[in-house]
Structure formats: structure tokens, C-alpha cells
Structure 1
Amino acid sequence: MDSPAERQVTETPTAKQRRVWDRYAPSYDKQIAFFERVQFAGGREWLGARARGRVLEVAIGTGRSLPYYPADATVVGVELSPAMLDIARHRAADLGRAVDLRQGDAEQLPFASASLDTVVCALSLCSIPHPGQAIDEMKRVLVPGGRLLLLDHIGSTWPPVRAAQWLLERITVRTAGEHFTRRQLPLVRAAGFTIVEAERLKAGTVERIHAVRPES
């Protein structure tokens, strides 16, 4: 068996993310609950209120957004971590909601082009190894006019907070692939989406984005 040092050298960024989230899965809901009440309050409700039709949630995690999707939406979820996906399956069953949950990579989505009406990604582009590639994939699977809905933590607009985030990243990027100074909005624009709504909250550390894939 490889030592931790050897594993860090040989494993890919995607494999590292799978390992990290498999390890955190049993405690994830308890750990994130406080932050969702305080820092990200109302974020999942905001996403759910804008989702329509055939909905894909990328990096669905333990399924914390499932209660907020419209009853008439058809929901599919993709998650890299099998352990997180198992919890999402239990949550869907408890809600009595039929959800197609699949193991998969945000950077190589297992869906046909132009096959979905809405793509959602919540609190995950901060740790996906290549977020631009993931956003390109989200665009590919959306129908023309389809909705992209994002919620994430980003680099603060307040310099002292951003400096603290940068320092924290020196640890979190190495140990868990977690970034605190990324911002997804430029990547969404670069991918060719039209921005419908974009708002920053909590000293600019939280961003919500509603964008659409152009018709042509």
C-alpha cells in the first residue's frame, strides 16, 4: 500500500477529490449545517426556485438541495464520491422523491449534448480541479436557452477577508483541493453564457449566478 506521501505524488486531482469526499461524507451534513444557516442562508432555496424541467445537479453531494426543487422537475444528480452518493440516495428515499443519481465527474458529464433544461452546482466549483472545464461541460449538456444556476463561496471584496482566505488556501488546497479565492463569474462569461442574475453577499464571499445558454 502506498504511503500518504507516495499517494500525494501519484494520484490525480480527481482521484484526490474522490478520496477526500469519501472520507468526509459521514460528517459532511453536520459540518456544513452551520455554514448553510449563516453564510449561505437561503442559497439552496434560491437555486430551487429557478430550476425548471429536466434538472441536473452537478456534484450533488449528500443531496441537500433535493427538498427545494419543484415537484414537477425531473432531477438527475452526478457525484464523484460514492460515499456522498449513498447518503444522497437515502435522502431522496426519505423525501419520497424519484431522483436518478449517478457516479460521475463534473469535468466529463455522462449526458448527451443539449439534453437538459437546467444545470445546478452548489458549493462545489470551489473544489472541482478544473472549474472552467466543468462549466464548459455544463454548457454542452444544456439546451439552447437552458439555465445555469450556481452558488459558491468566492474571494471577498474586502481586502482583510480576502487576505485571510488566501492564507487559509495555503492549507486547504494542499489537503483537500478547496479554494477560497476563486470566482466563477468570469468563467461563466468566458464560456459564452448570458448572465441573468449575479449577486454577491457576506462581504462578497458568496455568489449566486443565474445564466442562460444562448439560443444560437
Structure 2
Amino acid sequence: MLVTSYIKSPPTPDPKSPLASSVPTPTPRPSAISGTAPQEDAIPTGRPSTLVTAVAAGCPDEELRQTAEAFDRGLNLPEWLMGLRGLRRELAARAYGHVLEVAVGTGRNMPYYDWTGVIASGGAGEAEARAQRERERLVKLLDQHRWGGSKIDQAQLHQVGVLSFTGVDISADMLGIARTRLRDAVPGLKRIMHRRRLEPLPEQSAAAAAAPEGSLVVDTLGGRVRLVMADAQNTLPLPPALPSSPTPPEKYDTIVQSFGLCSVADPAQLLAHMASLVQPDTGRILLLEHGRGWYDWINHKLDEYAGRHFQRYGCWWNRDIECIVREAAKTVPGLEVVKLERPLLLQAGTTLLVELRVASTKQQQQSPPAERQ
């Protein structure tokens, strides 16, 4: 993790550009947020630091997009070397039903979702028509399951695939890259979406990010595919109403987030907000994160280079993610840790896959306290 983070140097801005102004490297200090992990002097905004600087400097739209594109390209080699593509694929494979991706960024998970559920099957052959009928049957089972009706196991849930997708991020420019990736990932979108958005991207202001439903960047396929600019700590849109679901859902079946808890000012608040919008009992919150690992030596190195990493990526990689998640499970009503794994042995425990759920009030009453921690 330490090595791959610095294989490629961050792009050097044009000396004549407003981006050339120096950004001081923040210094970590002790924190109560993450147990033994140090806290940042600079508060993360959810955007890469280079993009924060560009927005503050009033750079033109094209320069902002180039900054976002450069940031996205800079992740390609480190993610490949670290094996993160496989983890993104695993994360997306677990998503089903109405899916919300928080801190979607440039959309690096999008190629791995099962998009069959959001695509109309008009003109399909008999085999595909049968598959579509089976999906419709499973969707009906899922609707009944949400309201305490017929039972459906996890294998059947995954066969449902993605029925709707809503991606949320605080940065309009990052969403501009995500829009392109979404257009490439969802079959058929190239026929109905222009390569570049014709309208200007939403204004990147605090007021715009905090709007009750956020600002739409993409709204297509009858609302089944959306990208929304919003501050996820304060604003998350509700799932869309679909013809296949007679009762409009109020919550999501799956909430996905990758490398978001390290990039927000208050990760506990974000976890609580996500928990409030996931279906009780049946829904899942899926996290792919990085943070403190198994060994003191690597944690010392994370602390040592934390300021430099923040300056480049806008996130604090030395937060104790497991501590943050487990503390949230103690304080957020019904929130439970279903699974917490540290895959990628070569990363020494600094990469985490987390699965959470929110138990309904009835389920909490039936479960002994030890099972709810």
C-alpha cells in the first residue's frame, strides 16, 4: 500500500495555473475519532485535494475536468498492483435490488455491477425472455420479502441483480468522469446518452451539495440510473419508484461505498446516515476501505506519510476503520457488523471488506444483546 501509493508522482501543475499555488502538508495529531489513529489537522471534504484547490482557485470547467481525469488515471496502476480491481468486482457482485453507491467518485465500481435488471428486454429471444420472466418473479419475491412476506435466500437475492442505481458524490467534476464510465458500463446507454453532458455540471457550492435531493447529473432509463451531486453526510436521495414495484421503496436494498470513510469529516455520521436508508434486516451496507493494519510498524509508516497522502488524495489512510465501524455499531440503533475481512495478505491488513446490516426493531427484540454487537 505504501509503495503503490507513490509509484507515480502526482501531476505537476502549470506554473501559470492557479493550481500551482502551494498547499501546505497537514500534520497528524492524536485523535479520539479512531482510537490509536492520529487525527488530521486538515478536514477531508470528499474531494481529492488537487480538485479542492482547483475549485477554490476558480479554474474553468475544462481545467477542472482535466484535474479529475488526471486523478482517476493516477489510480490505475496502484489499484492494479494492489489487487483492488478484484475486490471491487467482489463488492459489486454482492449488490442487488435498489442500489445506492455513496462517494461514487469517478465510478470505478461501475464495470462490475450486474446491469441486466435495469435494461428492458424488448425484442429478446426466447431464452432471454425466460430469463426476464425469472427476474420478474424474483423481484416480486424481493418485494414480498421486504415487507415480511415470503422468504428469499441470499443466492436468490443476487440473481435479482441491480434494479436501480443511484450514485452520489460531492464533486460534480468527479461525477463527470463517472458519467462517462456509466455510459460505457450499462448496455444501451451509448445509444441514448451523449458522450459529453450538454448542460453545464451543477454548481459546486455548499448550498448545492446540501440541497434536499441533491443536483441531478444523470437521470435516465426512467429514473433507474441516476448520478446525484450531494453531500452524503447530510443529503441522500430516496430510491426511484419502478413499474415492477407497486409500492415505491423508501429505502435501498444495497448501499455500497469504497474508500469513503477515510475521505469525510465525520465517518460515524456518514455510517449513521447510510444505516437510516438501508432496508432493515434484508438490506446490506457494503464497504471497501483502507486504514490501520495488523502491525505497529506499518501503522507507524501510515502515520508518518499520512499528511503527504492527504495532500495527494484528499483522504486519511491511517484512520482505524474497524474501530470506527464497531463504535458505530454500538451507537447507531440496529446497526450490526455481519462480516469484517482483511483480504490481500500483502497489504498487511490495511485493506478491509465490511458487510453491515440494520436489524428491525422486532429483530432487535428477538436477538440477545451479544448478537447485536
TM-score interval, normalised by the smaller of the two chains: 0.7 to 0.9
Greater share of strand residues, 1 or 2? 1
1:196 is paired with a residue whose SS is strand
Partner of 2:273: 137
Amino acid aligned to 1:17? R
Partner of 2:263: 127
Partner of 2:153: none
**Superposed displacement of residue 211, structure 1:** 1.3
CA contact (8 A) 2:98 2:165 kept: yes
Partner of 1:185: 322
Report the CA distance shift for 1:93/1:173 in structure 2 as closer, same or farther (over 3 A).
closer
Q: Give the stretch that moved more between structures: 30-39 or 101-110.
A: 30-39
**Superposed displacement of residue 16, structure 1:** 7.9
Amino acid aligned to 2:71? Y
2:280 is paired with a residue whose SS is strand
Residue by residue, what CA displacement relative to the aligned partner does 1:159-183 show, whole Å, maximum 9, x if unpaired?
A: 2211111011133346754212113
Alignment of 1:39-54 (within 5 A): 39=82, 40-54=84-98
Q: Give the stretch that moved more between structures: 28-37 or 184-193.
A: 184-193
How far apart, CA to CA, are the structure 2 residues paired with 1:94 and 1:44?
Answer: 17
Equivalent of 1:107 in 220, 233, 243: 233
Partner of 2:350: 205
Residue 25 (str. 1) matches residue 74 (str. 2) = no
How far apart, CA to CA, are the structure 2 residues paired with 1:48 and 1:83?
Answer: 23
Partner of 1:195: 337
Alignment of 1:58-77 (within 5 A): 58-71=102-115, 72=117, 73=162, 74-77=164-167
**How well do the aligned residues superpose, as a CA RMSD in angstroms?**
2.9
Partner of 1:116: 252
CA contact (8 A) 1:139 1:191 kept: no
How far apart, CA to CA, are the structure 1 residues paired with 2:253 and 2:230?
Answer: 19
Structure 2: gaps (5+ residues) = 1-17, 23-41, 55-66, 118-161, 190-220, 240-249, 330-334, 362-373
Residue by residue, what CA displacement relative to the aligned partner does 1:80-100 show, whole Å, maximum 9, x if unpaired?
A: 111110111111112235520
Equivalent of 1:170 in 280, 285, 307: 307
**Superposed displacement of residue 111, structure 1:** 2.5
How far apart, CA to CA, are the structure 1 residues paired with 2:308 and 2:90?
Answer: 31
Structure 1: gaps (5+ residues) = 6-11
2:114 is paired with a residue whose SS is coil
Aligned length: 212
Report the CA distance shift for 1:103/1:212 in structure 2 as closer, same or farther (over 3 A).
same
**Superposed displacement of residue 212, structure 1:** 0.9
TM-score (norm 1): 0.85
CA contact (8 A) 1:106 1:128 kept: no
**Superposed displacement of residue 125, structure 1:** 1.5
Q: Give the stretch that moved more between structures: 198-207 or 175-184.
A: 175-184
Q: Give the stretch that moved more between structures: 197-206 or 75-84.
A: 197-206
CA contact (8 A) 2:259 2:288 kept: yes
1:185 is paired with a residue whose SS is helix
Q: Give the stretch that moved more between structures: 191-200 or 19-28.
A: 19-28
- Report % sequence identity: 30
CA contact (8 A) 1:25 1:83 kept: yes
Amino acid aligned to 1:64? R
1:170 is paired with a residue whose SS is helix
